[in-house]
Amino acid sequence: MPFSPTPLQQWVEESARLTQPDRIVWLRGGPQEYESLLAGMVQDGSLQALNPEYYPRCYLHRSAPNDVARTEEVTFICTPDREDAGPTNNWMAPQEAKEKLHPLYRGCMKGRTMYVIPYLMGPADSPFSQAGCEITDSAYVAASMHLMTKVGDLALRHIEASGTYVGGLHSLGDLDPERRYLMHFPDECLIWSFGSGYGGNALLGKKAHALRIASATAREQGWMAEHMLILGLDRPGRETIYMAGAFPSACGKTNLAMLNFPEFEEKGYRVRTVGDDIAWLRVGRDGRLRAVNPEAGFFGVAPGTNWETNDVAMATIQHDTLFTNVAVTPDGLPWWEGMDDTPPDDLRDWQGNPWSGENSAAHPNSRFTAPITNCPALSPRYDDPEFRVRFARLVTHYWRNAAFLGEDQLLRDAAILNGIPGVLIHGRYDVSSPLETAWRLSQRWATSRLHVLDDAGHGGGNTFLGLTVDALNRFAAR
């Protein structure tokens, strides 16, 4: 270990005594470490290198067939008071959760390597960034965290300076769905995940830290962590303005954040990507709402992504990308439904079998993981350490309407649960969905005298939900 923040060191040692790995590897960050992780997985067969001519430094990972999506039904917020879990989340008492998972963790890493991953969420020099440390027995998770966060010594220095971090203990376990849990302990800044290697369940810096734990921290400190995209709009001869929108998963956040609209660009307007999934919001001393994207990468849905629906995303994933559960052609090219009109011959499906043409070749929830710096439309302020990205007012100015819009966008029938797409799941709410966002916004600012100001300094509603492409015309005209 290069640095030794004592509480962190003690927690790692306690976790090692519980899980009993054969060896412990502290990640330091950097391209050589990342490449070493990839090489090890290629050697053991858990990763397949794709065609280096067309997809340089890109790889395919296949998850277990029963481990293909977030498992909201076994995701819990563990607080002493049930009401603190929020209106749409599952709740479990902290002691009950630990008693349930502690026996599962005991000895679960025997014969495996424990990777200790210090990571930073947010700009390197920003006082609003947060550090975390994920412990995992998955090399795939370790490599993916390299893409989605800032891994290594930078995070350790932040932990030493701040004295705080979010701890995440993750193990693949035996991938038995009956022994799969994702527990959040906001009062302890702690996450326990067991039994899944899929992104949202295993990459604990993403939903678990940046949304669920961060939401609790934000409530204590007077800011917000929300399921929102952030984009900038360049305007000819005028200042770039920034906006955000709340959408559930798989409802178009990435496409909108990367929008390439030729009719706009002909007039001198251009969309700049800041983030496609999560926003941390604060009100500045000047009364304007500020935001930052805490993530360093994209974890996007592959099916339906093509050069017409999102050419920026396609350009982003042409190199240095991890693909999960997509199909692959005989010459090593990734493929998924919606990439083009005609499936290539002799495809291997997402489980590695010859594709019969009867079911989906790529899993409906197949993903790409790519560093944000791959994005050709990336805003030059995406990593602004001064936290000066501004939100403009849009669409919704009244809380009753905001709650309605949020509820109207609930991700129910589009959710993919247990590998079955298109099934209506009554009462299933996306964690940190627009409804939850509307509720937190109303709790935080609806009755406040504070008004968020637009670029011209005019007062208005506190924020907005329900960003649409049509709204870009409103911004362009301002």
Q: What is the pLDDT of residues 46-74, one digit of tens each?
A: 999 999 999 999 999 999 999 999 888 99
pLDDT at 465 over 80: no
At 162-186, the pLDDT tens digits run 999 999 999 999 999 999 999 999 9
* Residue 380 CA to its chain's centroid (Å): 21
Mean pLDDT of 186-215: 96
Structure tokens at 163: 């004295």
Catalytic pick among 58, 108, 133, 251: 251
Of 73, 383, 72, the residue nearest 249 (C-alpha): 72
What is the span of the domain harbouring residue 154?
6-221
Same domain, 180 and 87: yes
Mean pLDDT comparison of 126-140, 243-257, 427-441, highest-scoring range: 126-140
Q: What is the pLDDT of residue 4?
A: 52
**1 falls within a domain:** no
Position with higher pLDDT, 40 vs 401: 40
The answer to whether residues 238 and 260 belong to one domain is yes
Q: What average pLDDT does range 405-430 have in this prediction?
A: 38
Mean pLDDT along residues 22-50: 98
How much is the pLDDT for 285? Answer: 78
- How much is the mean pLDDT over the chain? 84
Q: Are residues 73 and 11 in the same domain?
A: yes
Tell me: do 154 and 216 sit in the same domain.
Answer: yes
Q: Are 154 and 242 found together in one domain?
A: no
Q: Does residue 460 or residue 136 have the better pLDDT?
A: 136
pTM of structure:
0.86
* Residues 210 and 233 grouped into a single domain: no
The closest alpha carbon to 246, from 216, 275, 222, belongs to: 275
Q: Virtual CA dihedral for 453, 459, 465, 471, nearest 10 degrees?
A: -90
- pLDDT over 70 percentage in the chain: 79
Examine the fold and report which residue of 176, 193, 221 is the final residue of a domain before the chain moves on: 221
pLDDT at 98: 98
What distance in Å separates the CA atoms of residue 234 and residue 267, rounded to the nearest whole number? 11
Higher pLDDT, 275 or 469: 275
Q: Is residue 152 part of a domain?
A: yes
**Residue 467 pLDDT more than 50?**
no
Give a yes or no: residue 252 inside a domain: yes
User: Tell me, what DSSP letter sits at residue 213?
Assistant: I
Residue 370 lies in a domain: no
- Judge if 201 and 283 occupy the same domain: no
Within-domain flag for 376: no
Please tell me whether residues 165 and 48 are part of one structural domain: yes
pLDDT above 90 covers a percentage of the chain that reads 66
Crossing angle of the two packed helices 139-148 and 31-44, in degrees rounded to 10: 150
- The predicted structure's pLDDT at residue 283: 83
In a domain, 335, yes or no: no
Q: Does one domain contain both 90 and 120?
A: yes
For this structure, is 78 an active site residue?
Answer: no
Cα→Cα distances 61→258, 353, 420, Å: 25, 14, 20
Decide the pairing of beta strands 166-171 and 228-235. unpaired
Least confident of 142-151, 274-283, 380-389: 380-389
The answer to whether residues 441 and 415 belong to one domain is yes
In DSSP notation, 356-374 reads: -SSS-SS-TT-EEEEEGGG
Number of folded domains in the chain? 2
**What is the pLDDT confidence band of residue 390, given thresholds at 50, 70 and 90?**
low
Residue 335's alpha-carbon distances to 198, 248, 302, 319, 342, in angstroms, are: 19, 25, 9, 15, 11
Of the residues 221, 251, 269, the one at which a domain ends: 221
Residue 368 counted as domain residue: no
pLDDT in tens, 228-264: 899 999 999 998 888 888 776 667 789 889 999 888 8
432 torsion bin: left (phi>0), alpha (psi -120 to 50), beta (else): left
What is the rounded distance in angstroms from the CA atom of residue 337 to the CA atom of residue 343?
Answer: 8
Per-residue confidence (pLDDT) for residue 73, from 0 to 100: 92
pLDDT of residue 21: 98
Length of the chain, in residues:
478
The span from the CA of 295 to the CA of 474, in Å, is: 28
CATH of the domain at 207: 3.40.449.10
Q: Which of 221, 236, 253 is the last residue of a domain?
A: 221
Does 318 reside within a domain?
no
Between CA 40 and CA 333 the distance in angstroms is: 21
Closest CA to 410 of 437, 445, 444, 442: 437
